[in-house]
Amino acid sequence: MKAFKITEKGGCGFFEIEKPTPQDGEVLVQVKKVGYCGSDLSTYRGINPLVSYPRIPGHELSGIVTALGANVPDHIKVGTQAAITPQTACGTCSSCKNNRPNACRYNETLGVQRDGALTEYIAVPWQKLVIDDSLSATKLALLEPLAVGFHASKRGQVKKGDKVVVLGCGVIGIGAIAGSAFREGEVIAVDLVDEKLEKAKVAGATHVINSSKENVQERLQELTDGHGADVIIEAAGNPITYKLAFDEISFTGRIVYIGYTPNPVSYETKFFVLKELDVRGSRGSEKEDFEHVLQAVKSGKIDPEEIVSHTFPFEKSDEAIKLWDADPSTVTKIVIEL
């Protein structure tokens, strides 16, 4: 069967690989849709510190179960449509023992530490299936990036009435916006690109700020009555927005970082103490986050297909990632059809 691989920095191509056979407790999934993630672009650009080459990218996916290994529960049938949770958990590290397997010290995510889904078939443990036969394959594939944002809103303990600022309106930021709105927060979205801010409104943002046209600090002070935000979720991975979160968070507020930057970030350390801040990281997602996204999608609160900016056939996976690399400002989400 065919697979698309990123072979090195700036290098990619199509290869023939062996079709997998489901082992004990596994199912074979025929891949239908794959969303490109920012980590895939980082891999192509040679700046993903977690990846080794060559690597089949792709951890946002949906597909159809086509074969069952031994010891798969009876409720999983051939023909079942599902999304896939892409992470692994060892079960013994401190994160796993603390019931936070999404942050497993030894995690291997599809498309990063192990080969991903930009291929015709993939074998996965049956527990990784998020089964749903009512949604489109595209909507199912995009549950994963939205779940990452939903997880960040959970880490921020967003509650009804909180003023929540989301910095960066890529697809993960859109998920954080939708997750915060789902938890009944009042969301303020910040980005440089008007098209992304329009998608932020659709996802549930009450207010939007284009930081290339407005003074972000002045606007946030106005929208928060001078107090600052209750929760700020940084989804841009930029030193400027990392620092902005500290400057604009309220006293006793909560900051959640999803994005990360390879560049050092400097802070006025007094704010850690004076504001008595809660500063948290957010990594990946949990099964519960998928379930919440699924609930939000089915209730009509968010339509994942509305965040798709480009769709390519599998045979043009290389063209898709090169387009994204050349002009990332035009891309919200690329979906590959198999």
**313-337, pLDDT tens digit by residue?**
999 999 999 999 999 888 889 999 9
Q: Which carries the bigger pLDDT value, residue 10 or residue 268?
A: 10
Q: Can you tell me which residue has the tokens 């009555």?
A: 225
Residue 171 pLDDT grade (very low, low, confident, very high; cuts 50, 70, 90): confident
Tens of pLDDT, residue by residue over 146-159, are: 999 999 999 999 99
Residue 129, pLDDT score: 96
pLDDT reading at 199 higher than 80 = yes
Neighbours of 114 (CB within 10 A): 14
Rounded to the nearest 5°, which phi and psi values hold at 17? Answer: -130, 165
Distance CA 108, CA 27 (A): 18
From the list 323, 234, 324, 319, the residue with the least C-alpha distance to 282 is 234
- pLDDT score, position 84: 95
Return the HEC string of 36-102. CCHHHHHHHHCCCCCCCCCECCCCEEEEEEEEECCCCCCCCCCCCEEEECCCCCCCCCHHHHCCCHH
Q: Can you tell me the mean pLDDT for 170-174?
A: 91
* pLDDT of 329: 80
Task: List helix spans (H) across 183-259.
Answer: 194-203, 216-223, 239-248
Say yes or no to pLDDT of 271 above 90. Answer: no
Mean pLDDT in residue range 192-216: 94
Exposed, middle or buried: residue 52 (CB in 10 Å: 0-12, 13-18, 19+)?
A: exposed
Residue 181 has pLDDT above 80, yes or no: yes
Domains of the chain, with CATH numbers? 2-142+308-337 (3.90.180.10), 148-281 (3.40.50.720)
The tens digit of pLDDT for each residue in 48-90 reads 888 999 999 999 999 999 999 999 999 999 999 999 999 999 9
Q: What phi, psi does 172 have (nearest 5°)?
A: -70, -40
In this predicted model, what pLDDT tens digit does every residue of 1-40 receive, in sequence order? 999 999 999 999 999 999 999 999 999 999 999 999 988 9
Judged by DSSP in three states, 77 sits in coil
**Sole residue written with tokens 């400027």:** 240
Q: Which pLDDT belongs to residue 50? A: 86
Section 201-206 average pLDDT:
94
Position 270 confidence tier, pLDDT thresholds 50, 70, 90: confident
Mean pLDDT over all residues of the chain?
94
pLDDT at 330: 82
Quick one: residue 109, left, alpha or beta (phi over 0 = left, psi -120 to 50 = alpha)?
Answer: beta
Strand 278-281 versus strand 249-257 pairing type: parallel
> What is the structure's pLDDT at 260?
79
